[in-house]
Amino acid sequence: MVETIPTERFFNSLLGSEVRSSLFEFVDFGTASVIQQQIEITLDNFEPRIENVQILVDPRPDLNEFEVTVIFDIVGQEFPTQEYSFLLEAAR
């Protein structure tokens, strides 16, 4: 969902974010902040099954990538807080 471009899904054209276009920018804290906001907006709008969301985006300029960690609770479940990490590689 994070790397899905809006209008890419036929039956839900609003689903997606502009994260992919941000990967053409510099790998720095400014771009990391933009990516964090885009992921936050996407999850707020399209993922009602999670709450208490915290998104951490760590730029790694030497590797030309961002490490993203999403921390969240599942609504209505007694599971411990979940954490999901992934890498976004910047394209130049």
Q: What CATH code is carried by the domain that includes residue 61?
A: 3.10.450.40
pLDDT at 90 over 90: no
Task: Dump pLDDT digits (tens) for 46-83.
Answer: 889 999 999 999 999 999 899 999 999 999 999 999 99
Share of the chain residues as helix, strand and coil, in percent rounded to the nearest 5: 25, 30, 45
What is the structure's pLDDT at 59? 94
Do the domain assignments include residue 56?
yes
Do the domain assignments include residue 35?
yes
Task: Dump pLDDT digits (tens) for 18-56.
Answer: 666 566 667 889 999 999 998 998 898 888 999 999 999
Three-state SS for 32? helix
**Tokens 């208490």 identify what position?**
52
Do the domain assignments include residue 1?
no
Do the domain assignments include residue 6?
no
Q: What is the pTM of this model?
A: 0.76
Q: Which amino acid is at 36?
A: Q
Do the domain assignments include residue 14?
no
What span, in angstroms and rounded, lies between the C-alpha atoms of 7 and 16? 8
Domain count within the chain: 1
